[in-house]
Amino acid sequence: MVRTNNFGIALRGWRERLSPLEGGLAAEDDEDRRIPGLRREELALLAGLSVDYVIRLEQGRARNPSAQVVDALARALRLDTAERDHLFRCAQLAPPAGGAVSMHVPARVHRLVRQLGDTPVAVFAADWTIISWNAMWSAVVGDPRTYDWQERNLVTGMFRSDGRPGPDSVAAWPVRSRHGEEAEEAALVADLRVTAAAYPADVRLAALVEHMLSRSPRFARLWFNGTARALVGDLKTVSHPSVGEIALDLDVLMVAGADLRIVTYTAAAETADEAKMAALRASCDLPRQRRVSV
């Protein structure tokens, strides 16, 4: 099977777009340059590599560069984070771990939350700290400011240290997974483990994990089983004080360019659950597209 030379294609494209001046080399008065970007020997100089090795990488004759080589090339080519990570993946390497979990919600995400005013929507950081939500989220599962979560983190609500069932503590009123409590908890811990591996230097995240390990045997058992995967959705039943039980689909959407989770609740069309959601929407006393955030 012929393998596409993704690494070489990316490397050449980025080399040819970067001028010597942008790369930190002295400007030349050479009007006969065949390309406006760097020559291979210039990239080799900036990255501290041999010209022959750069040629073999571009041509696909060298296919297993080390992480140090890829990082040197990324720095020499002035790649942004997304491009650097792509170059690592092209080399079949894991991108470098990030610094700290971001709590920043870009303006485009705030706009999306507002525009989905008919749907319960909340934005969570990668460590499951709730950051932003809309009026329908509060109407369906309660105002997050009333949740019994330490630092507004879902993990602390799910795994309580007082022995009370986790799902009854994740919102203002009971929200249960139709897959069962254990599956719900396992999915959340598996997702958190992915985040912990991506942010090994985040002191706040490390403290959260240590706190949960010391306070919750259920969390500790799941944490040490090694499962790691992104949480993509669930089937939920909300025991609402006004309209009774509502069966909902929970979906987790990842934000491109920002390590955030957009969580939505939706009801199946033409069902009693959809009618209950419509009743809550009609009785919501906040403007439909107003955003509430912490």
Token pair recorded at residue 81: 């984070």
> What one-letter code names the amino acid at 209?
V
CATH for 35: 1.10.260.40
Token pair recorded at residue 125: 């950081």
151: left (phi over 0), alpha (psi -120 to 50) or beta: left
Residues 63 and 125 in one domain: no
pLDDT at 22: 87
Which residue bears the tokens 């659950």? 273
pLDDT at 29: 55
pLDDT at 291: 38
Token pair recorded at residue 287: 């403007």
Which among 206, 204, 233, 209 has a CA at the least distance from the CA of 223?
209
Measure CA 250 to chain center: 17
Residue 39 domain-assigned (yes or no)? yes
pLDDT at 286: 47
Residues 215 and 272 in one domain: yes
pLDDT at 287: 46
pLDDT at 268: 96
Q: Helix crossing, 51-59 with 6-17: angle to 10°?
A: 120
Residue 138 domain-assigned (yes or no)? yes
What is the Cα–Cα distance from 130 to 123, expressed in whole angstroms?
A: 6
pLDDT at 50: 95
Measure CA 106 to chain center: 13
pLDDT at 31: 59
Which among 220, 217, 216, 249 has a CA at the least distance from the CA of 232?
249
Residue 74 domain-assigned (yes or no)? yes
Tell me whether strands 175-177 and 130-134 are parallel, antiparallel or unpaired: unpaired
Domain limits for position 84: 6-90
Residue 98 domain-assigned (yes or no)? no
Q: How many domains does the chain have?
A: 2
Residues 181 and 273 in one domain: yes
What is the Cα–Cα distance from 237 to 244, expressed in whole angstroms?
A: 10
Residues 113 and 73 in one domain: no
pLDDT at 2: 57
Angle at 217 between CA 216 and CA 218, to 5 degrees: 90
What is the Cα–Cα distance from 12 to 18, expressed in whole angstroms?
A: 10
pLDDT averaged over 10-residue windows placed end to end, the chain, 294 residues: 83 92 74 78 94 95 92 92 90 86 90 90 96 93 89 91 48 83 94 93 95 94 92 95 95 90 96 96 60 39
